[in-house]
């Protein structure tokens, strides 16, 4: 079995696929009859230490973090972006990184004040902040809650001290448990990130991690298979990992254990109690829109006849300098018709329950017939089921998701 490569862990910052010259779509203008829901992603680029498996835009804070200067730059970036989203309401906010929980309580209060001043936030907007257990302080997180954060996403990764050390995490097992206890006492809604198929991890150890997490009855769990991403320390110096059969056994255990505990497996790596699905990430997977501000943040913004992608400058200082000058965007391009099918399916196929074919038309401005050829091939191989109401990956398709997604790259 080929391990499933997850999208970005619960950071709210999906990786943007490279352009591809797809052969099965005809050129022409898009025609979006309605704009999709809009989310906001805010990137905090600093962390205490770079983990050896991490390929996100994060930078070790070797000195004092220029918090006020960065918050100034975030506001300037947002102000410059407003003409692209006039009249559109923000339904979810995700503050990711890096380690945004390094931000001071006063800094977070200022950031939330800026957002409320500049943006029409939905009254019940889901507002998530990522947090590292090594940065947890009970009083600080109560202040985060008072400032408007209503959902926490905690990067536990493991409750096993040896595995945490192998992953280069700055917290130990005791701090991991303490962080969950604080989150449980402070927030009604929180997510725990765990990784599996870790260096030298056994099936029993993976089960112990899952059971420890479930003992806290979290509303949401994100469970990711460790992958060796390019340009990371682990890619250069690979640790000893479980083989494919051992990884498959761990995955089977997770599916069984989570179902038995009453969690809905609604996306490849996401499990939730009823009513607790991650609204921000669901917007990504349903090919919704998102404005990304901050160093290295990505945006996907729809207009009636085009869909635009943007990326900000990655280095924090470069981003701050550019934002002050009124344009923090380093790259920008329109998604072509030739790319649209793959871009949509890359996200939507992650949903365990599938999607309505009409959603494809709503979000891409094209008919579902535009991708008939790869849909027929995927169905013939038993990777999807389809009818006029639903397109859904089969269990086989979920197991070999990378292969299924690649079918929509065309020739």
User: Does residue 190 belong to any structural domain of this protein?
Assistant: yes
Q: What is the CATH number of the domain that holds 233?
A: 3.20.20.70
353 plus 273 within the same structural domain: no
173 plus 259 within the same structural domain: yes
User: Does residue 387 belong to any structural domain of this protein?
Assistant: yes
Domain termination site, one of 284, 299, 332: 284
143 plus 262 within the same structural domain: yes
216 plus 114 within the same structural domain: yes
362 plus 257 within the same structural domain: no
280 plus 348 within the same structural domain: no
For residues 177-197, give the mean pLDDT.
95
pLDDT at 138: 87
Q: Are 225 and 4 in contact (CB under 8 A)?
A: yes
The range of the structural domain enclosing residue 263 comes to: 38-284
396 plus 261 within the same structural domain: no
User: Does residue 68 belong to any structural domain of this protein?
Assistant: yes
pLDDT at 410: 66
State the pLDDT confidence band at 231, using cuts at 50, 70 and 90.
confident
Tokens matching residue 220: 């949401």
Say whether pLDDT at 172 is over 50.
yes
Burial (CB count <10 Å: 0-12, 13-18, 19+), residue 402: exposed
State the pLDDT confidence band at 15, using cuts at 50, 70 and 90.
very low
Say whether pLDDT at 4 is over 70.
no
Host H or E run for residue 188: none
pLDDT at 235: 84
186 plus 112 within the same structural domain: yes
For residues 205-227, give the mean pLDDT.
97
Q: What is the pLDDT of residues 194-209, one digit of tens each?
A: 999 999 999 999 999 9
Q: What is the CATH number of the domain that holds 367?
A: 1.10.10.10
User: Does residue 21 belong to any structural domain of this protein?
Assistant: no
Percent of the chain having pLDDT more than 90?
Answer: 81
Neighbouring CB atoms inside 10 A of 237's CB total 8
Q: What is the pLDDT of residues 328-384, one digit of tens each?
A: 999 999 999 999 999 999 999 999 999 999 999 999 999 999 999 999 999 999 999
User: Does residue 325 belong to any structural domain of this protein?
Assistant: no
Neighbouring CB atoms inside 10 A of 85's CB total 19
pLDDT at 29: 72
User: Does residue 326 belong to any structural domain of this protein?
Assistant: no
274 plus 367 within the same structural domain: no
pLDDT at 261: 98
Q: What is the pLDDT of residues 91-111, one digit of tens each?
A: 999 999 999 999 999 999 999
User: Does residue 60 belong to any structural domain of this protein?
Assistant: yes
Average pLDDT for the chain = 91
Total number of domains in the chain: 2
User: Does residue 266 belong to any structural domain of this protein?
Assistant: yes
Beta bridge partners, 265, equal 271
83 plus 228 within the same structural domain: yes
Domain termination site, one of 245, 264, 284: 284
CA atoms within 13 A on the CB side of 31: 4
Q: What is the pLDDT of residues 122-138, one digit of tens each?
A: 999 999 999 999 888 88
Percent of the chain having pLDDT more than 70?
Answer: 93
């Amino acid at each position: 079995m080929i391990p499933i490569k997850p999208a970005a862990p619960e950071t709210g910052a999906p990786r943007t696929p490279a352009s591809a010259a797809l052969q099965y779509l005809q050129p022409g203008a898009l025609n979006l009859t309605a704009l999709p829901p809009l989310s906001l992603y805010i990137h905090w680029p600093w962390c205490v230490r770079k983990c050896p498996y991490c390929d996100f835009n994060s930078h070790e804070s070797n000195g004092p973090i220029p918090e006020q200067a960065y918050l100034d730059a975030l506001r300037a970036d947002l102000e410059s972006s407003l003409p692209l989203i006039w009249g559109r309401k923000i339904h979810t906010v995700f503050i990711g990184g890096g380690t945004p929980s390094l931000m001071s309580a006063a800094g977070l209060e200022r950031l939330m004040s800026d957002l409320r001043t500049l943006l029409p936030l939905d009254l019940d907007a889901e507002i998530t902040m990522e947090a590292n257990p090594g940065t947890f302080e009970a009083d600080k997180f109560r202040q985060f809650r008072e400032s408007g954060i209503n959902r926490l996403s905690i990067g536990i990764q493991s409750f096993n001290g040896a595995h945490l050390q192998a992953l280069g995490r700055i917290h130990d097992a005791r701090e991991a448990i303490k962080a969950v206890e604080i989150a449980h006492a402070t927030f009604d809604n929180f997510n725990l990130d765990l990784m599996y198929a870790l260096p030298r991890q056994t099936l029993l150890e993976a089960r112990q991690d899952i059971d420890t997490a479930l003992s806290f009855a979290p509303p949401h769990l994100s469970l990711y298979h460790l992958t060796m991403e390019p340009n990371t320390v682990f890619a250069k110096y690979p640790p000893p990992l479980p083989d494919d059969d051992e990884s498959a056994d761990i995955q089977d255990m997770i599916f069984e254990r989570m179902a038995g505990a009453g969690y809905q497996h609604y996306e490849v790596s996401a499990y939730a109690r009823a009513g607790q699905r991650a609204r921000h990430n669901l917007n990504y997977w349903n090919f919704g829109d998102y404005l990304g501000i901050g160093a290295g943040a990505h945006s996907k913004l729809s207009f009636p006849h085009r869909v635009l992608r943007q990326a900000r400058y990655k280095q924090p200082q470069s981003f701050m300098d550019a934002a002050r000058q009124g344009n923090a965007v380093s790259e920008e391009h329109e998604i072509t018709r030739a790319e649209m099918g793959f871009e949509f399916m890359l996200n939507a196929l992650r949903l365990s329950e599938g999607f309505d074919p009409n959603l494809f038309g709503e979000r891409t401005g094209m008919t579902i017939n535009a991708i008939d050829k790869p849909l027929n091939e995927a169905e013939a191989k038993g990777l999807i089921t389809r009818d006029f109401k639903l397109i859904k990956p089969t269990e086989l398709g979920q197991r070999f998701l990378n292969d299924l997604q690649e079918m929509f790259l065309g020739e």
